[in-house]
Chain A
Amino acid sequence: MAAILRKTSGLLRVNSGILCPKAKLSGFAHMSRTKKAALVTFGALAAGSTGLVSALHISVSAEEYDIHPPNLIWPHSGVFSTFDHASLRRGYQVYKEVCSACHSMQYLAFRNLVGVTHTEAEAKTIAEEFQIPDGPDEEGEMFERPGKLSDYFPKPYANDEAARAANQGALPPDMSYIALARHGNENYIFALLTGYCEPPAGVEVKGDLYYNPYFPGQAIGMAPPIYNEIIEYEDGTPATMGQIAKDVSTFLRWASEPEHDERKRMGLKALMVLSMILGVAYYTKRHKWSVLKSRKLAYRPPTA
């Protein structure tokens, strides 16, 4: 049996050699020693330069005054991961009970909550808790009515000037895009909310400002907004400071891109379909080109 196998494999080897001689035009095995040495030197130089640039980049970044927020692992961080919707619901509660007193959320409507953090009935109830200015009515008068799902989140202040006047001159930013509008995204929000501390020796924070190393300039007008047990979660989750910061950061990230989950789902589907089409297209290309690729060019010198 072993002899038969040996013979068969030998035959196959010979046959493959006859039918399809492999061109040896490129590849490391057939490269001259000089070329190999040049290639290795070039590679070493490229790797050394990249390392030097990287080290320089890190060392100069370390000299900056602002602390970069650490990259945390969020449930939605993965390429195909979706939001933790229980966290989103808790995050909305934090926003509503803590943040919304000063920060607006002008691009988010109550309808956006449906199917994400609340049921339709719950979202309607939430909307009805607010009085929304509307009108004019048939007599030309403006009036207030209970909120509807189509209404956007009401602003805490009538205008920016009123907001500044109520906050020692500092304008609380709108929260709709806060997670995308800051370097570090939700990592920044989490670091900012949990990063309040005493200023280091020699640093003086003036007036009604607070020291926070993650805020550009380190002096922030917003007082530490969260601490342990500042709220009581509906679902009974212990409301520690870290939990609250995590939930509201997640909620603000969702508020910045409500399409997040659908977008990633669409991305997954698109890549699955495209990879199948790519396989077919690549095979077709190889098949059609096989005629050209397997040609043999030969030089026949003219005979005398």
Chain B
Amino acid sequence: MAAPLRKEHPIFRILNSTFVDLPLPSNLSIWWNSGSLLGLCLVVQILTGIFLAMHYTADITLAFSSVMHILRDVNYGWFLRYVHANGVSLFFICMYCHIGRGLYYGSYNKIETWNVGVILFLVTILTAFMGYVLVWGQMSFWAATVITNLVSAIPYIGTIIVQWLWGGFSVDNATLTRFFPFHFLFPFIIAALAVIHLVFLHNSGANNPFAFNSNYDKAPFHIYFTTKDTVGFILLVAALFSLALLFPGALNDPENFIPANPLVTPPHIQPEWYFLFAYAILRSIPNKLGGVIALVAAILVLFLMPLLNTSKNESNSFRPLSQAAFWLLVAHLFILTWIGSQPVEYPYVLLGQVASVLYFSLFIFGFPIVSSIENKIIFS
């Protein structure tokens, strides 16, 4: 009897081994849905982005008006724009859930997959930032000015690099015209990196909530995980449509409905909600270079997770102290996000500094020490 086409055809065979016959641990919880949801978010962002790009004009005299033209004059342009602008929020919600799941269940022990994931996170941050600038509203312009200026903190060559990034001596037309193609290109780099992420993942096999060897109990991707992911997809689309169609401005800054004006600084410059935790860490250090290093370290510290891991049991499922440390980290992220949205004044500055120190302490000292204590309790 001949094998089915999906197992014989050179291309279908790859798809089959990725999405149909792939054996997965049968005990994967809903937190494992975040990966497929991220894939859906990427597809939605790329599709809506392509159609938006057809009507967008990357010129500082026309950029804001072209966005307003999309909102008012293009057929369902407002729908495309609202889905794209709110889709990024859901993208980051899924990404934070995905990273959180990785931290909780020890997915960082699959080092190649984890490292590519952190790179994906970094590229996504860059892509989102450049997309935010394209609107050329007040907050777009000043966010671009503040963030690109951070590079000037690099000793000796900082100013040269900043001017090279700007394409001039300030954020101007050259900056916008280069951010646009990068914002268009980067999602495809993200897609390529996601494929690499999956290749590494499927090479080592998926983790599971207990982090036990799951070879004894696996279920094929189709029909089990296709039906499970479908439920996740529908919930995500429902959340996206609720945001885009019923509360489109809930997560956006009103300042971005004012055209960019280099002569008027908004009273509170702040990034979108998904970058607020990093922004709070940046502001917590009075020194510019120190703040930039802390900002970058807040993301790059994820690379250290495999090295800092001292636990003999990968998952937190049976480690109550590590669970407490993890939820403490989550609480700190919420606090930092809140601090990032507040003005730079007492008591927010002090709270931000305390939360920042605890954020890094948890990664560098908290998790390893707690895991060592648990090792002694469980294994000795």
Contact = CB atoms under 8 A, between A and B. Distances in A.
A13 interface: no
A57 B345 CA distance: 12
Contact of B246 (A79, A258, A278): A79
Interface in B189-237: 219, 223-224, 227-228, 230-231, 234-235, 237
Given A56-B347, A258-B72, A289-B228, A278 B234 contact: yes
A264 B235 contact: no
Given A56-B347, A274-B238, A281 B231 contact: yes
Most A C-beta atoms less than 10 A away, residue of B71, B249, B254, B338:
B254
Contacts, number: 92
B224 A263 contact: no
A142 B254 CA distance: 38
Most A C-beta atoms less than 10 A away, residue of B26, B230, B246, B249:
B246
Contacts of B234: 274, 277-278, 281
For this complex, into which size category does the number of interface residues on chain B fall? Answer: 35 or more
Contacts of B71: 257, 259
Given A216-B267, A270-B241, A292-B219, A182 B224 contact: no
A107 B254 contact: no
Contacts of A104: none
Nearest to B77: A259
Nearest to B256: A181
Given A56-B347, A289-B224, A264 B245 contact: yes
Given A181-B255, A183-B254, A285 B245 contact: no
A284 B227 contact: yes
Contacts of B255: 181
B79 interface: yes
B68 interface: yes
Interface string A171-185: 001001100111101
Nearest to B268: A183
Contacts of A256: 257
B347 A271 contact: no
B258 A177 contact: yes
B255 to A, nearest CB: 7
Main secondary structure of the interface of A (DSSP, over half): helix
Given A177-B257, A263-B248, A292-B26, A271 B227 contact: no
Interface string A52-94: 0100110010000000000000000001100000000000000
A282 B249 contact: no
A275 B234 CA distance: 8
B375 interface: no
A69 to B, nearest CB: 13
Contacts of A107: 65, 68, 72
Contacts of B228: 285, 289
A181 B258 contact: yes
A288 B227 contact: yes
B157 to A, nearest CB: 38
Nearest to A66: B267
A266 interface: yes
B92 interface: no
B343 to A, nearest CB: 8
B248 A181 contact: no
Contacts of B223: 288
B258 A274 contact: no
Interface in B1-56: 26
Given A56-B347, A264-B245, A274 B237 contact: yes
B61 interface: no
Contacts of A185: 254
A76 to B, nearest CB: 12
Given A181-B255, A181-B258, A216-B267, A271 B224 contact: no
Nearest to B239: A274
A182 B231 contact: no
Contacts of B68: 107, 176-177
13 contacts: A60-B342, A177-B257, A177-B258, A263-B78, A267-B242, A267-B244, A267-B245, A274-B238, A281-B231, A281-B234, A282-B231, A284-B230, A289-B227
Nearest 8 A/B pairs, CB to CB: A267-B245, A181-B257, A285-B227, A177-B257, A270-B241, A267-B246, A274-B238, A180-B257
